[in-house]
Each structure stands twice: as structure tokens, then as C-alpha cells.
Amino acid sequence: MAIFTVISDLDPSDSRLANAIKRSPPEVLQWYELPRGEFLVSYKGTSVELSNYLGISEGQNGSGIVIAVASYWGRASTDTWEWIKTHWEGQ
């Protein structure tokens, strides 16, 4: 599965996109919520397919951006690094 970053373009009080991610079965996608409400998502498909699945493309769950992760570096919590490492190795 590839790793994507999903960023909502909604008001923080609008949880439609977050709910769509969180209620997805783990065999379809796995997710990790970052402190400011963005999500790291492991999904077998393309960014377009993930956008369609989450209801972003047609606006059913609001608007947002899906970005495929090609590499990573930086400083984050241990939990964040462990999630990335676990799902990155599965690619």
C-alpha cells in the first residue's frame, strides 16, 4: 500500500472527511491522525482513487487534498515515525 497525506479544506468543526477516513475498514485503508487534523493514510491505489473513495472528488464529504508521499524526513513524535516506518516497509 502507498502512503498519502489527506488534508481537509473544511472548517475544523466539519468532521465529514475525518469520519469517512475513520470509519473505513482496515482492509481498505489504515490511517494515522496528525495533531492538527491531517491524516496519513495507507491505501492500495492512486491519489485519485483515494479521493474518490473518501468522497472528496464529488464533494460528498467536503473538500480536501490527497498527496502521495514519495519520501519523508523531519521531526515528529515517535508514534508518527513508527506508523510511517511500519506502513512504508509494506510498499
pLDDT at 18: 95
Query: Helix, strand, or coil here: 16?
Result: helix
Instruction: Answer yes or no: are the C-beta atoms of 39 and 53 closer than 8 Å.
Output: no
pLDDT at 34: 95
Total count of residues recorded for the chain: 91
pTM of the model: 0.91
Q: Exposure of 57 by Cβ count < 10 A (0-12 exposed, 13-18 middle, 19+ buried)?
A: middle
**91 has pLDDT over 60:** no
Q: Each residue of 20-75: pLDDT tens digit?
A: 999 999 999 999 999 988 999 999 999 999 999 999 999 999 899 999 999 999 99
Confidence of residue 2 (pLDDT cuts 50, 70, 90): very high
Instruction: Summarize the confidence of residues 68-87 as an average pLDDT.
Output: 94
pLDDT at 55: 96
**90 has pLDDT over 60:** no
Query: Helix, strand, or coil here: 4?
Result: strand
* Structure-derived torsion over alpha carbons of residues 39, 20, 24, 76, reported in degrees to the nearest 10: 10
